[in-house]
Amino acid sequence: MGLPSVESSMEESHYTYQKFEGEAEEWNALVLRYPGAGLIQTWEFGAARTQNSPWQVERGLIIVNGYVAGAAQTIVRAMPFTRAGFAWLNRGPVGSFENVGAAFDALRRHFSVSRGLYLRIAPPFMETEASAVIRRESGLRGTDIAGWASSTIDLNNSEDAIRVNFHSKWRNALVRAERAELNVRVGSDPETFETFLRGHAAHLSLRGLGAGVDTAFLRSLQEFLPPERKLLSVTATKDGCYLGGAAFVRYGKTGEYLAGHNTEVGRKENSGQIVLWSALRQLKSDGVIRLDLGGMDEYLTPAGIFRFKNRMGGKPYRLASEMEGDAPGLINKVVRWRVRRERSRNGHEGGVAATN
């Protein structure tokens, strides 16, 4: 979502929130028509994120003078036997708003005032001078938690142009992997996905659950995705030895790196480079015009992973800092304290699932 004007007053704009009652196809068509909409606001992500968990997903519309101007997918965790709880809106709302502050205020009024929930929002737009105006007009407070950071590669460019833009060390590693004649499999079929998932489970078992996106979430997301948007899985082997793999999700005209891993042997064989390059070529062939590298934060991303992604020559970006809205009651004060502590401790942890 590009940052619209914030000049008009909230009193003049009549922004309200209304729960969405439709189905997945209608929801995705709505949110993905807006620039800047990402995976986290898609129906399938919300369904996978809340499956078999105490969280519930709520999808809503931002209404302006009777017309739909945007949408927001929020996950909510209510506290038992009380109105208190936590509403977490990540990279939303998306829409076309003349007054962004008023749109955020509609969310604050719904979740914090009407429902009595502590509200936390990670906006989908870049930090600008207008962000302070948005916070003031929305009634939300800024926080010291920086927004999501990543990098994108323009797939409208030719393969040669993309490849030339790689750092020389990254490109040379790719050449060595190509000469090594690794067996690379790329597909959205169940067999390739299961091969990747087994490798990813072994990686997490060795490195710990914080080393990547949880396999249960990946399986849930794959289950909810329609056939034409199943995860693109890529695996690399040599002489029957598994070297590594990655999974990519597609939404609109964007592809996003979701999860990946390499074995020790795979790193020596530069399997990471050929896996990413093979996925990039397939996504480009499928009509995807933008590849998001799925998180690249100089402060939070492990140094080796940051260097690997940074050397692909993409365009870095960082979204605006998180905002919060209070709700009354002692329990909500405890909720706010816990959320603040966790976010300050972990920032926005690596992996799209970890941040939601």
Query: Which whole number is the average pLDDT over 222-231?
Result: 97
Q: What are the extents of the domains in the chain? A: 10-148+319-346, 150-316
Ordered DSSP codes for 143-198: -S-PPPEEEEEETTS-HHHHHHTS-HHHHHHHHHHHHTT-EEEEESSHHHHHHHHH
Write the pLDDT tens digit of every residue in 179-225: 999 999 999 999 999 999 999 999 999 988 777 899 999 999 999 99
Query: Which whole number is the average pLDDT over 252-260?
Result: 96
Range of lowest pLDDT (7-16, 69-78, 234-243, 329-338):
7-16
What integer pLDDT is reported at residue 129 of this predicted model? 64
Mean per-residue pLDDT over the chain, rounded = 91
Residue 13 has pLDDT above 70, yes or no: no
CATH superfamily of 10-148+319-346: Gcn5-related N-acetyltransferase (GNAT) (3.40.630.30)
Residue 239 has pLDDT above 90, yes or no: yes
Angle between helix axes 43-50 and 24-31 (nearest 10 degrees) is 120
Query: What CATH number matches the domain at 150-316, 3.40.630.30, 3.40.50.1360, 3.40.640.10, 3.50.50.60?
Result: 3.40.630.30
Query: Which whole number is the average pLDDT over 163-188?
Result: 97
Topology match between the domains 10-148+319-346 and 150-316? yes
Is the overall model pTM greater than 0.85, yes or no? yes
Distances (CA, A) of 334 to 76, 324, 327, 330: 16, 14, 11, 6
Ordered DSSP codes for 43-105: HHHHHHHHTTSS-EEEEEEEEETTEEEEEEEEEEEEPTTSS-EEEEEES--EE--S-HHHHHH
**How far is residue 249's CA from residue 42's CA, in Å, rounded to a whole number?**
11
What integer pLDDT is reported at residue 350 of this predicted model? 37
Write the pLDDT tens digit of every residue in 83-130: 899 999 999 999 999 999 999 999 999 999 999 999 999 999 988 766
**How far is residue 231's CA from residue 221's CA, in Å, rounded to a whole number?**
8
Q: What DSSP element (H or E) covers 16?
A: strand 15-19
What integer pLDDT is reported at residue 7 of this predicted model? 42
